[in-house]
Amino acid sequence: MLGSALRYIPLMTDSILNIIGGGMAGSEAAWQAANMGVKVVIHEMRPKVETFAHRTGDLAEMVCSNSFRSDDSEQNAVGLLHWEMRQAGGIIMEMADKHALPAGGALAVDRDPFAQSVTEKLKSHPNISVSYEPVNELPIDGSWIIATGPLTSPELANAIAAETGQDALAFFDAIAPIIYFDTINMEKAWFQSRYDKGETEEDRTAYLNCPMDKETYEAFIDALLAAEKTEFKEGETAGYFDGCLPIEVMAERGRETLRYGPMKPVGLTNPHQPTIKAHAIVQLRRDNALGTLFNIVGFQTKMKYGAQKDVLRMIPGLEDAEFARLGGIHRNTFINSPTLLDAQMRMKSKPNLRFAGQITGVEGYVESAAMGLLAGRYAAAELLGRELSTPAPETAMGALVTHITGGAEAKTFQPMNVNFGLFPPVVDAKTGRKNRATRYKMYTDRAKAAWTSWLEDARLDAA
């Protein structure tokens, strides 16, 4: 971490930064602002007001996957975002590293200790306090960050809709099931990361694999398509984010779709039948440090609970599986940020309000926390009588915030993960698949230099 990235400084204003929502974005925003010397109040409605997906009242609770995805900062845009957040002293990355689990080249975490650690660290900060009273209206006065995420309360969502005039504020996101490891048949399943990727033996064996032959796969697809699904309420529509499609929706797009997605059989060899190539492979990833829980990778679903058990137990090795959590579906609220927000993530019609996290139209834990990091710094700078520049679009952070605050087409705006397609092209970089590694390294080298420069220029302790 850069020594100048964060530094405690005397409070220069009586103003308080209020943050609605204690998820990834709200937690990161609070940490960044508090470390700059600003008093922060986090307004979190849980556990007083429960949601479908959350289980606890902890801040930064992970409700879907337990993975922050790739940690490769040289070849992957998500890994680059990890790097930038670490350099900025981010609490989410610090606690993720502390509670990391073996996951090949990915960063997966033990979700409960992770959230507990974030909560404890934020609550022990002298500049941070937490209120558990829900906020259901848009505040008129003061400095606020709205980071309510995909499960914004209906009351607050209605208030946002009334202010913005937007009708389509929601799409749907699905949760993958979690299985008890001791109910998996290891005479059929085996441990191996795809292409044996990873620096350690733990990383190279981070995934549990269940193979299917063609007949089993076809029967599985038939059952998946026929299974009873969760019905939408009247007036609701299913506008899914393509990076988190339910498996049944993928199957509806074509019988081979899953074989080229989460069930692709490449890079793996079944030690039980090394000479037989699987037609499809279902992967599971460790979900806690003890290795007692595994989530089914890419298997978000809206099947009803009874149907889930029947269909998922058709997977070889999972015939007797017991579920710690079944999959589910929940409302995911986001605003049309390119129309509504300025470059500082402020609502144009109410500049005292900033938005951060998934509600801005970024998708994923890391992206949400990253937008919280920027919003927290922007708000703190403003309260301290200064203004921060936007990070260069050549950085992962800058590419994301530029996209949501004007780079995206407003008429077709949909949630987006960080990816190199959001970055300005590298001059003289060769295109094509065979040049990808060199090209991506050029992107990340350029980004790291630009991010380091921005952190130095954004020092709030400078005269």
Q: What is the full DSSP assignment across 409-426?
A: -GGG---B---GGGSPPP
Pairing of strands 67-70, 178-180: unpaired
Distances in Å between the Cα of 340 and the Cα atoms of 33, 151, 240, 350, 400 are 23, 20, 22, 10, 16
Are 207 and 194 in contact, with CB atoms under 8 Å apart? yes
Output the CA–CA distances (angstroms, integers) from residue 386 to 7, 27, 30, 330, in the order listed: 16, 22, 18, 39
CA distance 409 to 407: 7
Cα 235 from Cα 252, distance rounded (Å): 22
Q: Which residue has the tokens 């302790």?
A: 461
22 is in an annotated binding site: yes
Report the relative pairing of strands 346-347 and 280-286 from DSSP bridges: unpaired
SS3 state of residue 396: helix
Amino acid at 40: V
Per the DSSP assignment, residues forming a β-bridge with 128 are: 40
Instruction: Measure the CA–CA gap between 328 and 339, rounded to whole angstroms.
Output: 31
Residue 129's Cα: distance from chain center in Å? 25
- CB-CB neighbours of 163 under 10 Å: 16
Q: Is 142 annotated as a binding residue?
A: no
Write out the binding residues.
21-26
Write out the binding residues for FAD.
21-26
